[in-house]
Amino acid sequence: MSEAVTGLGQELGGAKLTASSLRDQALRVIRARIISGELAPGRLYALGAVAEQLGVSVTPVREAVLDLAREGLVELARNRGFRVREMTDGDLDEIVELRRMIEVSAVRTIAERGLLADAEADRLREIAAATEKCAADGDWVGFLDNDRDLHMGLLAHLGNERLLTIVGSLRDQGRLYGLDHVAGSASLMESTHEHDTLIDAVAAGEADLAAAIMDRHLRHTRGIWAGHAEHSG
């Protein structure tokens, strides 16, 4: 494992943060850079270098990195910085298996109970469209924000905060391989477009179809997040 401290001029894409919610913004940007593959496993990243690149003090960056460590995305190097945690195929398989256990059943219940109103379905479709655009443009911060908002917004209709906490944590842990490897691929766009069919099925109360789409979507996504655009199941 390399002990060289990496400068972040290229890795962070020149992103600069504004004054509001610096911790949250730093968290979003660093997470997106990890997931896109721009911050690579095995390298040591200094907090000061990250803060300088983002144009903020070390404090919000340190707080963001602590959050990422709790999520399991990074490992802290005391008084030195952090390393991106490398996920094994076994780790990813376990995470997706858990998500299938939870989210397929949750979506089925939402559809069965008719919990997704027309107005809310339209809002989720708008988010789905934004997610597709970000995927096509390679805007990974926007893509991840919209993708998370869509999935969590749909699951929120069960009114179960513990479910949202668990699924949110699993989502963040599972996304550690390069999106840049699959940018613009047919597999990524197909997976993203599955959001529309999922929303339609839930809104129509077609519980079996909605559950099948969610299950396929999660299996499809497993391959994409592993960095293998050709994998679909």
Q: Is the pLDDT higher at 12 or at 136?
A: 136
Averaged pLDDT of the chain: 84
Residue 83: phi, psi to the nearest 5? -125, 145
Spatial distance between the Cα atoms of 203 and 139, rounded to a whole number of angstroms:
28
What global pTM score does this model have?
0.78
**SS3 assignment, position 10:** coil
* CB half-sphere exposure, 10, CA atoms < 13 A: 4
Return the pLDDT at 223.
Answer: 73
Return the pLDDT at 66.
Answer: 95
Residue 38: phi, psi to the nearest 5? -70, -30
Spatial distance between the Cα atoms of 170 and 99, rounded to a whole number of angstroms:
7
Spatial distance between the Cα atoms of 4 and 205, rounded to a whole number of angstroms:
54
* CB half-sphere exposure, 162, CA atoms < 13 A: 1
Return the pLDDT at 169.
Answer: 85
